[in-house]
Amino acid sequence: MKKYNVAVVGATGLVGREMLKTLSQRNFPIKNLKVIASQRSAGKKIKFEDQELTVEAVQADTFAGIDIALFSAGSDVSKEVAPLVKKAGGIVVDNSNAFRMDPDVPLVVPEVNGSDLANHQQIIANPNCSTIQMVMLLKPLADKYGLKRLVISTYQAVSGAGKKAVDELFAQTKAHLAGEAIKNEKFNHQIAFNAIPQIDVFLDNDYTKEEMKMVNETQKILHTPELAITATCVRIPVVYGHGESLNIELLKDFELGEIKTLFAKTKNVELVDQPAAEKYPLQVATENNDNVLVGRIRRDNSLKNSLNLWLTANNLRKGAALNAVQIAEYLIENELV
């Protein structure tokens, strides 16, 4: 089997480390692996299987011979560094927001729109975490019934904001339990025992960037630029796993049982929907689970052809690292590298 030279840019971050773990767990065909981070982290050691890799900062020749570079170091780094990979002849799978809405850049969840990779131009975007898990469920519904409108409310984990955010949740929680004052540094408000109805910055329309990502990226991934979508994104004091409450209006009528069967048959989706046994998707259940969990599926009697459901998925795995690695695997399987 052919092997590839791989780089992980942002290798010391939460998603970067998850990318390394995922590459190993899935036996990604690696010839040589480079771990890249900021100048500050250069020289640090990272264990990868039986190797000890040294973190490098980006240099002029860093990407010479690299086939695939997985990026998760923020938009600014992606904008600056991705062109260097492209120039050196490699492919970038970028987890940041930098290129997602660029019409020349495929925005891909392999199970949903892997075929969009066919005409890639060396830069491929990994969608936003909340969007990835949602489109995994929307795709089979869109194919079978057609989508009319989505009303989304999210319950997002702090790990989506990085390692410092997780540290801050724990530090604030400990302080609160000890009756001490709470410090906000990474978050603009208390996150311990609180919810913050803001993720990312506010835009001119008073939606947050995260909310508009869910609208715009979903439309792009599903090839339905006019699909009616509205979202409210909220950070809650959960460490791993995003939850979403989804109200879906379909174009055609449906049977609930049909929809449950459809999800049960969908690859990498897991139906967890037994109200009588009090079983439904939980965020803590996603910690070691790569699937999107869906449950609480019920008819919305307030509107024709409508339903409610609840979904959870691991925001660092399917929501980020795993999806990026799956994109790389798709490229290899389809001889697009």
Q: State the Cα–Cα distance between residues 17 and 35, nearest whole angstrom.
A: 10
Q: Return the closest-CA partner of residue 222 out of 92, 111, 95.
A: 111
| Contacts of residue 140, Cβ cutoff 8 Å, sequence gap at least 6 | 262, 263, 266, 269
The response to whether 23 counts as a known ligand-binding position is: no
176 catalytic per annotation: no
The token pair at 256 is 């609930």
Q: Return the closest-CA partner of residue 141 out of 242, 249, 229.
A: 249
Smallest distance, Å, CB 224 to its own copies? Answer: 12
Smallest distance, Å, CB 195 to its own copies? Answer: 5
Q: State the Cα–Cα distance between residues 20 and 15, nearest whole angstrom.
A: 9
Q: Return the closest-CA partner of residue 281 out of 131, 134, 127, 173.
A: 134
The response to whether 245 counts as a known ligand-binding position is: no
Smallest distance, Å, CB 209 to its own copies? Answer: 12
233 catalytic per annotation: no
Of 282 and 336, which has the nearer Cβ to its own copies? 282
The response to whether 14 counts as a known ligand-binding position is: yes
Smallest distance, Å, CB 278 to its own copies? Answer: 5
| Chain positions contacting its own copies, by CB under 8 A | 149-151, 153, 155, 170, 173-174, 177, 188-190, 193-198, 202, 205-207, 228-230, 232, 234, 236-239, 243, 245, 247, 275-276, 278, 280-284, 295-303, 306, 308, 310
The response to whether 12 counts as a known ligand-binding position is: yes
Q: Return the closest-CA partner of residue 175 out of 196, 192, 158.
A: 192
Of 48 and 170, which has the nearer Cβ to its own copies? 170
State the catalytic residues. 129, 242
Q: Which residues are annotated as a binding site for phosphate?
A: 100
